[in-house]
Amino acid sequence: MEETIEGYVDHIIFRNEDNGYTVMVVIAEEEELTCVGSFQYLSEGETIKAYGHYTEHPSYGRQFSVTSYETVVPQDSMAMERYLGSGAIKGIGAALAARIVRRFKDDTLRIVEEEPERLAEIKGISEKKAREIAAQVSEKADMRKAMMFLQQYGISLSLGAKIFNQYGQEMYGILRENPYKMAEDIDGVGFKMADEIAARIGIHTDSDYRIRSGLLYILLQATAEGHVFLPQRILLERASALLGVAAPYMEKHIMDLAIDRKIVMKETPLSEGVQPEPVIYASQYYQLELHVAQMLKELALEDTVDEARMETQLARLEKNGNVQLDEKQRQAVVEAVKNGLLVITGGPGTGKTTTINAIIRYYELEGLDICLAAPTGRAAKRMTETTGYEARTIHRLLELSGMPDDSSASIHFERNAQNPLEADVVIIDEMSMVDIFLMHALLLAITPGTRLILVGDVNQLPSVGPGSVLKDIIRSGKFPVVELVKIFRQASQSDIVVNAHKINRGVPVVLDNKSMDFFFLKRYDANVIISVVITLIQKKLPKFVDATPYDIQVLTPMRKGLLGVERLNGILQQYLNPPSPEKKEKEHGNGLFREGDKVMQIKNNYQTEWEVRGKYGIPVEKGVGVFNGDTGILREINTFAETLTVEFDEGRFVEYAFKQLDELELAYAITIHKSQGSEYPAVVIPLLGGPRMLMNRNLLYTAVTRARKCVTLVGDENTFWEMEKNQMEQSRYTTLDLRIKESF
């Protein structure tokens, strides 16, 4: 049963400024009481009425856990003196508060709110200071009033603060007329939340604001599936289902949005040989494709090359660098020398690394400055190991500098059109992972005249973000592309490489377990499969591939289901990092985090700070940005400060507030999509059926190519054959190839 207490805040013991979580002492009826809860705008000396219940903390004893509260206007001169003297109002200390209250007694509150100029009657308060005090009191009163107003619509204190800071007193008008504006302006308010608030306020389902906001929301949601636009018929179909409004009624709103330049309408054929149909882009995505196409064209200038000098340098390279290039690899080096932009593509074992190394050595002979980068930390690390040159993530290459707080503004890179990269040659690996946003940011920082070489495997899964950048660049037919197809002798001894190519071509793979690095263990029951997976990770594979159980990665096609990420992680955690009195735990959602867990960041956070620690834990390097797919080990859970510390690759330590835990999940098992760009000593892939659209050749190929020394599939061989045969890929609605053709 909910209980109520009333008293004044004597002192604050601890406050987390990010989420308002506060531990404080309240004096209620002469008794000191420890209260805990979220109090975004509360100062010492204020009187509150709090609702909640008593709890018993193992270390700190009896506490009052606050679920909601309201501030109470100081009723008497004593309460007023306490409030003013608490430091809540800048410029007033205890002595000055006592003088004010001595002068105005029980009328103090009215004087401060209605006749603040009279405060200047007190010795030590100028007219200017009196005005400042009045402004602060009024601002605090406005903030409180706003919080109370927002709470009746179910809006939390921290979100309420964002809304009030964004709009101030205009907030009331916006909420009553068009709460959907918040979905555009405020990070953390999506269409669904704005729609709930609108329903509580009583806004009609066919309101113009609601329909327009709903249409934009659906276009934005489509980008999460990788689309840059939607055909108009699909947009109206989805909007009708979401909003409960008939499609014909929404067509005029599409025209209005186009007139307001919020969207772009085009007639586009969705595949070869079909009639063009109306398609709709959110404006920024149309502009992204357009701009990327123009910048690619500017880079793609052909160079006049001294052929004799080039041949001499190539001969020197092959002789002195001990490099043996086949015909295609040699062609790639020649094209790299002749062109401003080159695409090199090929599967595993086809010599992409040898080719990149040859291109680097050639440019070294020419005395040029070279930059290497890849989309993820793991891919960059691998590039460094295989080339001997320092490679960075694209984000670090472009010098990411965190996003402005509480803003949905795009992320900011220090390297851009005004401050371009100082390099003659830029080589990007794992290009299939680069989405339209990152490509745009990269091209902004590259001046025409700089050579850009894009390397990737076009048969891998596409980027997590919107676009099919690598595919579209190749599909446009406007830039030189060298496809490496020959599997080299050393790689041809690996069944991982040979079978990956067979999967890609749809040639049946032999599953007889006579291989040294490619195994298929036939099991047909989900629980038996899991038990085999645990045995492999704990006992069999670590010795076989000379790695720890944590280095071996379970890759599964799905999140849900008997062999989905969510179930597997709960079970694997129990075996690989069992409970222990020495390990602290934190429950979150339906599961829990435990010290020592393997975890993964599941969204890009451009503001999170990291530090590399030297001896005695002293920071030796700092930076910002933790990205979707980064994995690490949970080193510490601090229940008092409500934080959790994770050590990511390259010794980067990141501290998470408990309220940020939605950004993390266990990573003993991850989806194949999340493994892109990473490589592991061994991978274990449980397979037992799933949705046909997902269980395709492309997914199987990506999973197998993540392993360096050993692939073990556990499950039903029929699922394997089905996946190998299934060429259905979820097609993405992108038109970068068309924009490139137009730019030429």
Q: Which residue, 55, 50, 54, is CA-closest to 38?
A: 50
> Long-range contact list for 543-546, CB < 8 A, 24+ apart?
544/682, 544/709, 544/710, 545/681, 545/682, 545/708, 545/709, 545/710, 546/681
Going along 16-114, which residue ranges are E strands? 21-28, 31-38, 47-57, 61-72
- Cβ distance 26 to 10 under 8 Å? yes
Per the listing, tokens 């009052």 go with 64
Q: Cα(135)–Cα(236) distance, rounded to whole angstroms?
A: 49
The pair of structure tokens assigned to 465 is 């973000």
The pair of structure tokens assigned to 107 is 């009328």
173 assigned ligand-binding residue? no
449 assigned ligand-binding residue? no
350 assigned ligand-binding residue? yes
51: left (phi over 0), alpha (psi -120 to 50) or beta: beta
Q: Cα(79)–Cα(76) distance, rounded to whole angstroms?
A: 5
Residue 3: how many other CB atoms lie within 10 Å = 10
Sorted by sequence, the CB contacts under 8 Å of residue 281 that are 6+ apart come out as 219, 228, 229, 263, 264, 266
Q: Which residue, 65, 528, 469, is CA-closest to 295?
A: 469
| Positive or negative: CA dihedral 502, 503, 508, 513 | positive
- Cβ distance 662 to 36 under 8 Å? no
4 assigned ligand-binding residue? no
Q: Cα(343)–Cα(107) distance, rounded to whole angstroms?
A: 78
Sheet of 263-268, strand order: 229-231, 277-282, 263-268
| CA distances to 419, 523, 639 from 113, in Å | 51, 76, 41
Sorted by sequence, the CB contacts under 8 Å of residue 156 that are 6+ apart come out as 38
353 assigned ligand-binding residue? yes
DSSP H or E segment with residue 250: helix 247-259
Q: Cα(466)–Cα(1) distance, rounded to whole angstroms?
A: 49
- Going by the annotation, the residues of the binding site for ATP are 349-353
- Going by the annotation, the residues of the binding site are 349-353
